[in-house]
């Protein structure tokens, strides 16, 4: 006897997770990698489209980066973790080959690592991002720069000198400068 799934069962996120692969220019020379999809990203199937994504878009625009043409955006995890929790080390390890293949296919010259999870997944660094943010790291022939995740920036709305948003603007302007030197 076979049973068929009811419509509500097909929407259950743990049975059939939404894949959130990426958005932007697949030929971009600049890639941004975040942690994992949030609720809005899961619902729309696109990374960085929720509140933190809106802030990221605003900062990119102010830094002079053309999000549609100069950037490709993705996450370490391609599915939202249950209850929007931080990805586990096992989930990161499982996702790493998919992310590496995505990086290889896009082949960006520069990569922004948005948040500690991206930093850990790519560079293997488990320490806080504050010490490395804004500094280019050469890894496997590619340049990576850690930066604060926009969800962290939502807690600090000020853009005064030295604040997390100001530091992130500096990082994005440095990425633009470096991108235009290529």
What pLDDT was estimated at residue 55? Answer: 97
Residue 61 CA, distance from chain mean position: 17
CA 139, 132, 92, 71 torsion: positive or negative? negative
What pLDDT was estimated at residue 82? Answer: 86
Q: How far, in Å, CA of 143 to CA of 83, rounded?
A: 33
What pLDDT was estimated at residue 8? Answer: 44
What pLDDT was estimated at residue 16? Answer: 55
Q: Where are the domains of the chain?
A: 17-181
Q: How far, in Å, CA of 50 to CA of 44, rounded?
A: 9
What pLDDT was estimated at residue 63? Answer: 97
Residue with tokens 């586990």: 88
pLDDT along the chain (182 residues), means of 10: 43 64 97 95 94 96 95 96 90 94 97 96 89 95 97 93 96 97 92
What pLDDT was estimated at residue 157? Answer: 86
In the chain, what are the helix, strand and coil shares in percent, each to the nearest 5?
Answer: 45, 15, 45
Alpha-carbon dihedral angle through residues 162, 163, 164, 165, given to the nearest 10 degrees: -110
Would you tell me which CATH number, out of the four given (3.40.50.300, 1.10.760.10, 3.40.50.1220, 3.40.470.10), belongs to the domain 17-181?
3.40.470.10
pTM value surpassing 0.85: yes
CB 165 within 8 A of CB 154: no
Structure tokens at 72: 């490709």
């Amino acid at each position: 006897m076979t049973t068929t799934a009811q419509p509500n069962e097909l929407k259950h996120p743990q049975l059939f997770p939404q894949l959130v692969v990426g958005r932007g220019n697949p030929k971009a020379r600049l890639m941004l990698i975040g942690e994992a999809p949030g609720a809005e990203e899961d619902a729309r199937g696109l990374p960085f489209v929720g509140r933190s994504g809106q802030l990221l878009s605003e900062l990119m625009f102010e830094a002079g980066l053309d999000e549609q043409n100069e950037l490709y955006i993705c996450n370490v995890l391609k599915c939202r973790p249950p209850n929007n929790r931080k990805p586990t080390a096992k989930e990161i390890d499982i996702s790493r080959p998919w992310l590496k293949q995505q990086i290889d296919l896009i082949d960006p010259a520069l990569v922004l690592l948005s948040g500690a999870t991206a930093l850990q997944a790519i560079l293997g660094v488990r320490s806080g991002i504050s010490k490395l943010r804004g500094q280019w790291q050469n890894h496997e022939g590619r340049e990576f720069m850690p930066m604060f995740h926009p969800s962290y920036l939502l807690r600090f709305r000020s853009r005064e000198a030295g604040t997390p948003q100001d530091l992130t603007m500096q990082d994005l302007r440095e990425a633009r400068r470096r991108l235009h030197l290529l």
